[in-house]
Structure 1
Amino acid sequence: MAASLATGNPLLVLANPGIAAESRALVADQHRVFVKLFGSHIVRGTGAQVIAAYRLFLTTYAAEASNRNPGDAGGERTGEQLAPDSMFASELFGNDDVAMLHHRLKSASFLQGYSVLEDAHRNPATDRCDPKAEAIRAYVQEPGSIPDILEELATRFPGTVDAAYEVAFSRPGFSWERDGEALLRRYKPEEFRTRDLPSIAVLPPWLKDAVHGRARAPRA
């Protein structure tokens, strides 16, 4: 029953304060390794390049964790084993504009068309139908996308962010400082409700075994 609940709603596991704290510490440690490895929390390139970078990050972190805990076999696995092709969206491989962003709580995320989204904040569109305005709307309205990415871009381009959203959402007089959070909360209520929770849950050994056993069990 616990395995079924954990796989059906991972947030239930994070309701345990001890598990939540351990999970936050794990993602923070991964974030440290990511930034140390690449010199930034963002890696950009083609889809193939970004996937290769992600696999390098996984093998680097697994090797470091294995050195700290010699019984951990994760450091013996290759990047392809840790992140097989099947875990990535198929269109990611052929995309020439991909960014991988590592968040201190939400771990790694992959964003296609990041350069367009960035340029939309740097050089705002003058027409609502401009691809740059569409990129902003698409990310704001996309379920599951973390608001932190937009908040970071707004911080980087304070002089143009108001105009960018004014055009994208046809909101004359839009002020990011005044209206930005309300706009994001409107489209991303779940992301704000869970934004203080990590995206990875560190399961206790007995529950991890139960989840793995459930995944291996034959389906009727």
Structure 2
Amino acid sequence: MLDEATATNVIDYFLLQYRLPDGNTVADRFVTRRPALTDADRQMVLAWRDPVEGLFEVRGRNGDSLLLLNLLDDLEYCTYTNAGRTALRRVAKGSFLSARLVALAPAPGAWLFSGVMSSYPRSAMPEIAAAALDLAAGRPGLVFRNPEKVEQGWHSMREDRAAFAEFFGSDELILTPEEAEDRINAYYRHRQHAAGAGQCPGSPRGGQHAAPNPPLFTLSPELAEAETVGVIYDRVDGLNFYADYGSLRDLFANPGLPGRKRHQDLLRTYLREESITPLPIRRLAAAHPKTVDTVFRKLLRQPDFTWNEHGDALLRRRKPWYVESEQRPGVSVIGDRLSELLRSRPR
């Protein structure tokens, strides 16, 4: 049984963002079935499909609105409520809010609370900062609403990828699960030490040293049970891990190897799974140009298949979600204010 606040937020998400079988939202249908709406009203309702979710610090009050700083995207929002002025009366400057905001289009820079807002006192700062950090890491799309953070993310990822390739001698590895955990943890310790010594471009401001023990990296159960783990740090897709990547490499290296059905089934899985981008298949195709056509002719039973002619179309057909999505950096960044709050937490 959901509590009232959770139920309200679930309904809010369903109305504004949930994609129905035809790909539209309830907001889309509302606008389509009401041709008498003015252009301004139509624009406002459609803008609600892209709410801002976050943890906000209350920076001040301006009449009936609050000035909020989103700790995730580091942007300020002038925010109103449709519940009347009394709904915001007890919200103090310096306190924190967990909320969803929708744009009051076509009025530029104006936002409205949507769903249920939760309020926290200034004293909850350590917990709020930790929660914001977890959200930034787990849902980087909330951070990347800010174009500046997108560019910072790409910059940080380029630096980290270069350090990864220097440490390992390559941006692609094939390891046993045990080796993968040990070597990735060794890399993170190396980066943490470099940051603490001020040798890393991403080191904390003011010469502060990083925590002596970085979080321990562990593989998912699926990867931990694999024979091999492929580790690829791509310039666009970022750092990714692939189960039994060594077996897939063996198939491309020798399409006629004994027992290849198991390897072909693995390739089918790579083509089918939405959690796997086209990256590993593109990597193997590029590394084995003399055998890639044979691999896919046998797999697809298409004797005329050539990777150069048909490979891109195959990947677009099997993974349309990847082609249609906007590429984002695989490294999330945090804003100046959240950095300040994290540094000021009691240790």
> Following superposition of structure 1 onto structure 2, how do residues 8-47 of structure 1 map, counting pairs within 5 Å?
10-47=140-177
Contact 1:45–1:99 (CA<8 Å) still a contact in 2? Answer: yes
- How many pairs were matched up? 204
Match among 272, 287, 290 for residue 159 of structure 1: 290
Match among 195, 209, 219 for residue 65 of structure 1: 195
Aligned-partner SS, 2:255: coil
CA distance in 1, matches of 2:326, 2:248: 22
Structure 1 stretch displaced more, 63-72 or 37-46: 63-72
Q: Per the alignment, do residues 129 and 135 of structure 1 end up closer, same or farther by CA in structure 2, a change over 3 Å counting?
A: same
Scaled by the length of structure 1, what TM-score is found?
A: 0.79
CA drift of 1:105 comes to 3.2
Aligned-partner SS, 2:242: strand
CA drift of 1:147 comes to 1.3
2:317 alignment partner AA: R
* Bigger helix share: 1
Contact 2:161–2:233 (CA<8 Å) still a contact in 1? Answer: yes
Residue 2 (structure 1) aligned with residue 54 (structure 2): yes
2:208 alignment partner AA: G
CA distance in 2, matches of 1:9, 1:94: 27
Higher relative contact order (CA 8 A, sep 6+): 1
Q: Which has the higher Rg, Structure 1 or Structure 2?
A: 2
Residue matched to 2:247: 116
Structure 1 stretch displaced more, 136-145 or 63-72: 63-72
Match among 265, 271, 276 for residue 140 of structure 1: 271
Q: Per the alignment, do residues 127 and 194 of structure 1 end up closer, same or farther by CA in structure 2, a change over 3 Å counting?
A: farther
Residue matched to 2:231: 100
CA drift of 1:10 comes to 3.2
Scaled by the length of structure 2, what TM-score is found?
A: 0.52
Structure 1 stretch displaced more, 141-150 or 6-15: 6-15
Contact 1:19–1:202 (CA<8 Å) still a contact in 2? Answer: yes
CA drift of 1:54 comes to 0.8
Contact 1:127–1:167 (CA<8 Å) still a contact in 2? Answer: no
Match among 202, 209, 216 for residue 333 of structure 2: 202
CA distance in 1, matches of 2:255, 2:326: 28
CA distance in 2, matches of 1:58, 1:206: 25
Note the residue ranges of structure 1 that are not aligned, 5 or more in a row. Answer: 211-220
Contact 1:133–1:168 (CA<8 Å) still a contact in 2? Answer: yes
Q: Per the alignment, do residues 56 and 106 of structure 1 end up closer, same or farther by CA in structure 2, a change over 3 Å counting?
A: farther
Contact 1:124–1:132 (CA<8 Å) still a contact in 2? Answer: no
* Bigger strand share: 2
1:64 alignment partner AA: A
Contact 2:255–2:295 (CA<8 Å) still a contact in 1? Answer: yes
2:170 alignment partner AA: S
CA distance in 2, matches of 1:126, 1:38: 30
Q: Per the alignment, do residues 161 and 56 of structure 1 end up closer, same or farther by CA in structure 2, a change over 3 Å counting?
A: same
CA distance in 2, matches of 1:45, 1:128: 22
CA drift of 1:67 comes to 2.7
